[in-house]
């Protein structure tokens, strides 16, 4: 089974320490949310987990094998979607299965029928089946991110990683994307890691939480353990009062000019 083991992970960029002595284990199919402020090491952790960055020390083992380079069994969803704007949602979804396709079949879309059905199935999971032939450049941010999720699903991985998937989305689309992520993860029994900085969304969708602060693990537990004190530990001296408000009032407060003046 796809057990994920992070063992004594340390990652430095020059003199900057991004991650320090990070260890945890996650069972297959768990839905984990990684919390922390910008620069706390969330992205670095996910990039190491999918093999884009190599750990300075320690290692990450997925299915027992250490991650040193990207592997098809780990799929990644990016904050900036990183899908191909000139191509349709369907063509983008197909690129998820690129590792099972030869060069010429992939550029001329000569994949097997099964592969094509898989792409449509993934688009259905993220609710974009009707928009399959639309160019992604003309889609909204939320839809583009869902195409990104579809591509990751077509990859048919064991592990799904999402680096700030909703950071650049409005509150409504953010919840949508999170719902689709949760659904995809449940339907396909994927071990899922999502990094977020919005506590309210995290609490709504997360089961297990890992909190990072300055590259160190400061919290690892389940929803009922995620107390105000725990969140204070993750977010340090940043005022977290507003983060417990629900989405609707959050939206209102950001449009309130009075509040912006006082900030």
Partner 1 sequence: MEESEPDNLADESRQETKTDRQVDETTEEGTVSETESTHTTTDGGVASQQPAENTTDEIEKQFENIKETRRQRAVGWAALIGVLGFLTYQGLSATEFFDDDTDFTWGHFSTRMTEYFPTTRVADLSVVSSLDGYYLWAVDFREYWAFIRDLNLIYDPEVGSLIFQFPINLTDLYTFVFVELGIFSVFGEAGTTLAMGLVGTVLGFPLALLFSILATERVLPFPFNFIFRAIMSFIRAIPAIIWALIFVALVGLGATAATLAIGFNTIGNLGRLFVEDLEELEDGPIEAMETTGANKSQIVFFGMLSQVRTSFIAWTLYIFEINVRAAVTVGVIGAGGLGAIVAAQQAQLNYEQMMATLFVIFVLILLVELFSQRLRARLRSDAEKRSWRELIFGFPARMADSLRQ
Binding site for partner 1 (CB under 8 A): 15, 17, 20, 50-52, 70-72, 74-76, 78, 80, 82-84, 86-87, 95-99, 103, 106-107, 137-138, 148, 151, 155, 214
From its phi and psi, is residue 120 left (phi > 0), alpha (psi between -120 and 50) or beta?
alpha
- State the minimum distance, in angstroms, from the CB of residue 248 to partner 1: 32
- State the minimum distance, in angstroms, from the CB of residue 250 to partner 1: 28
Give the nearer residue to partner 1 in terms of CB position, either 87 or 243.
Answer: 87
Residue 108 tokens, joined: 């001329």
CB contact at 8 A, 63 and 74: no
Query: Could you tell me the sign of the dihedral formed by the alpha carbons of 179, 180, 186, 187, in that order?
Result: positive
Which SS3 state, helix, strand or coil, does residue 91 take? helix
Number of H helices, E strands in the chain: 10, 10
- State the minimum distance, in angstroms, from the CB of residue 158 to partner 1: 13
Give the nearer residue to partner 1 in terms of CB position, either 34 or 77.
Answer: 77
Which SS3 state, helix, strand or coil, does residue 126 take? coil
Which SS3 state, helix, strand or coil, does residue 134 take? coil
Angstrom distance (rounded) from CA 45 to CA 43: 5
If you write DSSP's letter for every residue of 147-202 in order, what string do you get? Answer: HHHHHHHHTT-SEEEEESTTTTS-HHHHHHHHHHHHHHHHHHT-EEEEEES-HHHH
Bridge partners of 4, per DSSP, are 26, 62
Give the nearer residue to partner 1 in terms of CB position, either 43 or 125.
Answer: 43
- State the minimum distance, in angstroms, from the CB of residue 82 to partner 1: 4
- State the minimum distance, in angstroms, from the CB of residue 167 to partner 1: 14
Q: Which residues contact 240 (CB under 8 A, 6 or more apart)?
A: 199, 228, 231, 232
With tokens 């884009």, the residue in question is 52
Give the nearer residue to partner 1 in terms of CB position, either 71 or 116.
Answer: 71
- State the minimum distance, in angstroms, from the CB of residue 148 to partner 1: 8
Give the nearer residue to partner 1 in terms of CB position, either 149 or 226.
Answer: 149
Give the nearer residue to partner 1 in terms of CB position, either 135 or 183.
Answer: 135
Angstrom distance (rounded) from CA 121 to CA 178: 18
- State the minimum distance, in angstroms, from the CB of residue 178 to partner 1: 20
Give the nearer residue to partner 1 in terms of CB position, either 41 or 226.
Answer: 41
């Amino acid at each position: 089974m796809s057990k994920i083991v992070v063992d004594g992970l340390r990652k430095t960029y020059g003199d900057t320490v991004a991650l320090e002595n990070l260890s945890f284990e996650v069972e297959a199919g768990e839905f984990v949310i990684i919390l922390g402020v910008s620069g706390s090491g969330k992205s670095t952790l996910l990039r190491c987990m999918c093999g884009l960055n190599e750990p300075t020390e320690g290692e990450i083992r997925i299915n027992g094998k250490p991650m040193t380079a990207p592997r098809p069994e780990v799929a990644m969803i990016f904050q900036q979607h990183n899908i191909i704007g000139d191509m349709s949602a369907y063509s983008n979804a197909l690129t998820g299965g690129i590792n099972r396709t030869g060069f010429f079949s992939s550029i001329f879309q000569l994949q097997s029928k099964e592969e094509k059905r898989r792409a449509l199935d993934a688009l259905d999971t993220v609710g974009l089946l009707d928009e399959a032939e639309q160019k992604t450049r003309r889609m909204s941010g939320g839809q583009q991110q869902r195409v990104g999720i579809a591509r990751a699903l077509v990859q048919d991985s064991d592990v799904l990683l999402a680096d700030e998937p909703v950071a650049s989305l409005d509150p409504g689309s953010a919840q949508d994307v999170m719902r689709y992520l949760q659904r995809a993860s449940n339907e396909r029994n994927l071990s899922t890691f999502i990094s977020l900085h919005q506590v309210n969304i995290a609490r709504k969708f997360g089961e297990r939480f890992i909190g990072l602060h300055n590259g160190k693990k400061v919290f690892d537990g389940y929803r009922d353990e995620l107390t105000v004190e725990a969140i204070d530990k993750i977010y340090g001296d940043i005022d977290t009062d507003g983060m417990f408000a629900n989405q609707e009032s959050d939206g209102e407060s950001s449009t309130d000019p009075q509040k912006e003046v006082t900030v």
